[in-house]
Chain A
Amino acid sequence: MTKTDIKKPVRDRFALPHIKYREYKQTFFFTLLRFAAIINGTALAVILFFLLKNGYKAITWTFLTQPPMDSMTKGGIFPCIIGTIYLSMGAIAIALPIGIISAIYLNEYARSGIILRIIRLGINNLAGVPSVVFGLFGLAFFVIYLKMGVSLLAGALTLGLLSLPVIIGATEEALKTVPDTYREASLGLGATKLQTIFRVVLPCAMPGILTGAILGISRAAGETAPVMFTAAVFFTPDLPSSIFDEIMVLPYHIYVLATAGTEIEATRPLQYGTSLVLIALVFGMNLGAILLRARLKRRMHI
């Protein structure tokens, strides 16, 4: 240490020579990271802005409650809304029981080992199967092999299998948040494992499972490719009256209006309107799930 150094304040005397540089570097990269987050938000905002700007005029009472008229150029999308609701409800009715029981087995019964690993590999790979391949499978298995034809049932089954991994994942997360002491207390009172699961663990995990179910429904409602070959048609004059009927659904309606119609330009407002309705449906469910989860989190903290 030289003499001049001693006159400086203590902090500067011991400061590393490039500490300022390191601080600048940190500020620079943190700004960059913040910027990445902003880009994502902007993308969401831009998509919503353009859809709202071009679509809000199309949303009228007639649009929501009437079937299409004049070879699709006028009228509404009522059958599509009904079809989408039926289809996603059907899908969740199939996926929920199987998904919950799978998750119970994985979380409460299975011991880690080769069998558990194979089951997990199966679930992960099922989650990764492209939606169009699900469509092909639905066509080959449900529509052709099981002779269901292009129908609500075939579409709901295909979508149900597609959302199965989502439900399993959400249910497992929910089961994991139930403290082990609850299980031990129940077992200590003489309850069997089964009674413990159905009377103690499942009720505690139910809100979390419901969140997963809502997300599953919203995913199913927005899928197009698996439904194209299995359930959806461009136009059907009647509302579905049985599970073997063909149906109209929102996503497929958007696709057909935007790409295959003869009057693509004329139906532009309808396309925006339909997109807006679909987004409102999906976001509504997602926001519900997010709020439900936030409330749960708060309750957990107390």
Chain B
Amino acid sequence: MINAKKTMTVNRQFKEVWMRRIFFVIASTSIFILLLIMIFIFAEGIPVFKKVSLIDFIFGKYWYPTSEPPEFGIFPLIVASISVTALSAVISIPLGVMTAIYLAEIAAFKVREIVKPMVELLAAIPSVVIGFFGMVIVSPFLQDVFDVPTGLNLFNAALMLGFMSVPTICSISEDAISSVPRAMREASFALGATHFETIVKVILPASLSGIITSIILGMSRAIGETMVVLMVAGGATMIPSSIFDPVRPMPASIAAEMAEAPFRGDHYYALFATGIVLFCFTLIFNIIADHIAYKYKQTGDSTL
């Protein structure tokens, strides 16, 4: 009897330990996949550097992958990606952060219950639909209003991307603002500050790390977004001189040309190498965001 009981306990412990190990292995899948992604895009992208040097690839001003001899310089694509993202940030940062403040601080409960799902639905619209909307509705509108040769340009793409990153910025910022301890707010009121002064001088500084994280993540999403820039940015591989010039950001180039690039030809390798550059951009953004979120973690009043 005692023996049987012992065996059962041992069995149960044995099972516990093994399940714990299996769970750990499965939880590590994400890192494993991240590594696999790196290995495979590097393996398919590195061969292009037999043809062009890394410096020429990144700073080369001409992207003519199909002409003879081909030119693989992605500098115009990088400039396009950065300028579209920066311009979209001009729209998304104020809009996102302000909406977050409104939702977390000012809005009445009933209003918040309506506005919050609306922001979430904005995030849920598939990117291809936003791209389509930008193409058929916004583009002719811009053409008329600003009297420009094409409505498919940097400005249009930035406008669409801006509205796409608002939900990311808004929801993460809102979490940060709501987690500011109540005591700090009350202390500020007790000193005679108005609600607005409390927001600007107490709540925003206290939640700054969360807000900055949200902004970096929003921009990281914008720079990697594909369908919108593919359909709306215009597709010209040149360095833009005004915000109404058509451009071709990196993701657009990859998505548009992959289908016609000969399998494991130089063009194919060059597109994977563009993917590596894009991957590195977002990786750096994410690591910075993660670092800020971790280092300036909000744990309570004592950290401030």
Where the two chains meet, the residues of A that have a C-beta atom closer than 8 Å to any C-beta of B are: 16, 22-23, 25-26, 29-30, 32-34, 36-37, 39-41, 43-44, 47, 50-51, 54, 98, 101-102, 104-106, 109-110, 117-137, 139-141, 145, 161, 164-165, 168, 192-194, 218-219, 221-225, 228-229, 251-252, 254-255, 258-259, 268, 271, 275, 278-279, 282-283, 286, 290, 294
What residue of chain B has the Cβ atom nearest to residue A117's Cβ?
Answer: B294
Give which listed residue, B12, B98, B125, B136, contacts A268 with CB less than 8 A: B136
Smallest beta-carbon distance A207→chain B, Å: 18
List the 5 closest pairs (A to B, CB-CB), nearest first.
A130-B224, A222-B126, A122-B31, A36-B98, A26-B196
What residue of chain A has the Cβ atom nearest to residue B119's Cβ?
Answer: A40
Residues 257-283 of B contacting A (Cβ, < 8 Å): 258-259, 271-272, 275, 278-279, 282-283
Judge whether B135 and A258 touch: CB under 8 Å: yes
Judge whether B20 and A109 touch: CB under 8 Å: yes
Judge whether B29 and A41 touch: CB under 8 Å: no
Cα A192 to Cα B28 in complex, Å, equals 24
Cα A36 to Cα B94 in complex, Å, equals 8
Judge whether A40 and B24 touch: CB under 8 Å: no
What residue of chain B has the Cβ atom nearest to residue A142's Cβ?
Answer: B40
Judge whether A36 and B120 touch: CB under 8 Å: no
Give which listed residue, A34, A51, A141, A225, contacts B36 with CB less than 8 A: A141
What residue of chain B has the Cβ atom nearest to residue A294's Cβ?
Answer: B113
Judge whether B120 and A290 touch: CB under 8 Å: yes
Judge whether B94 and A137 touch: CB under 8 Å: no
Give which listed residue, A29, A129, A251, contacts B126 with CB less than 8 A: A251
What residue of chain A has the Cβ atom nearest to residue B294's Cβ?
Answer: A117
The main secondary structure of chain B at its interface with chain A is helix
Q: Interface size bucket, B side?
A: 35 or more
Give which listed residue, A23, A121, A139, contacts B290 with CB less than 8 A: A121
What residue of chain B has the Cβ atom nearest to residue A36's Cβ?
Answer: B98
Residues 23-40 of B contacting A (Cβ, < 8 Å): 23-24, 26-31, 33-34, 36-37, 40
Judge whether A33 and B33 touch: CB under 8 Å: no
Q: Is B95 in contact with chain A by the CB < 8 A criterion?
A: yes
In the complex with contacts A25-B196, A130-B278, A132-B278, A140-B103 CB distance below 8 A: no
The interface residues of chain A lying within 8 Å CB-to-CB of B231 are: 255, 258-259
Residue of B16, B19, B29, B195 most packed against chain A (CB within 10 A): B29
Judge whether A278 and B103 touch: CB under 8 Å: no
Smallest beta-carbon distance A201→chain B, Å: 13
The interface residues of chain B lying within 8 Å CB-to-CB of A37 are: 98-99, 102-103, 107, 115
Residue of A98, A117, A121 most packed against chain B (CB within 10 A): A121
Q: Is B77 in contact with chain A by the CB < 8 A criterion?
A: no
The interface residues of chain B lying within 8 Å CB-to-CB of A221 are: 126
Q: A225-B226, A286-B124 are in contact. List 7 more A-B contacts (CB 8 A).
A: A118-B31, A130-B278, A132-B255, A133-B41, A168-B30, A225-B227, A255-B132
Judge whether A133 and B275 touch: CB under 8 Å: yes
In the complex with contacts A130-B278, A255-B231, A40-B99 CB distance below 8 A: yes
Judge whether B29 and A229 touch: CB under 8 Å: no
Cα A106 to Cα B225 in complex, Å, equals 29
Cα A223 to Cα B34 in complex, Å, equals 19
Cα A106 to Cα B124 in complex, Å, equals 27
Q: Is B285 in contact with chain A by the CB < 8 A criterion?
A: yes
Judge whether A105 and B23 touch: CB under 8 Å: yes
Smallest beta-carbon distance B152→chain A, Å: 10
Cα A290 to Cα B43 in complex, Å, equals 42
Judge whether A102 and B26 touch: CB under 8 Å: yes
Cα A143 to Cα B121 in complex, Å, equals 33
Smallest beta-carbon distance A291→chain B, Å: 9
Judge whether A229 and B258 touch: CB under 8 Å: yes
25 example contacts (A-B, Cβ-Cβ < 8 A) are as follows: A22-B196, A30-B196, A32-B98, A33-B98, A40-B115, A40-B170, A51-B129, A101-B23, A102-B30, A104-B23, A105-B24, A109-B24, A121-B31, A125-B287, A128-B283, A129-B279, A132-B224, A136-B254, A136-B272, A192-B16, A194-B19, A223-B127, A251-B126, A252-B128, A275-B128
Cα A105 to Cα B40 in complex, Å, equals 28
Smallest beta-carbon distance B232→chain A, Å: 10
Cα A121 to Cα B290 in complex, Å, equals 7
Residues 86-122 of B contacting A (Cβ, < 8 Å): 94-95, 98-99, 101-103, 106-107, 113, 115, 117-122
Give which listed residue, B26, B106, B125, B220, contacts A98 with CB less than 8 A: B26
Judge whether A132 and B251 touch: CB under 8 Å: yes
Give which listed residue, B28, B98, B220, B272, contacts A119 with CB less than 8 A: B28
What residue of chain B has the Cβ atom nearest to residue A110's Cβ?
Answer: B27
Judge whether B103 and A22 touch: CB under 8 Å: no
The interface residues of chain A lying within 8 Å CB-to-CB of B137 are: 50
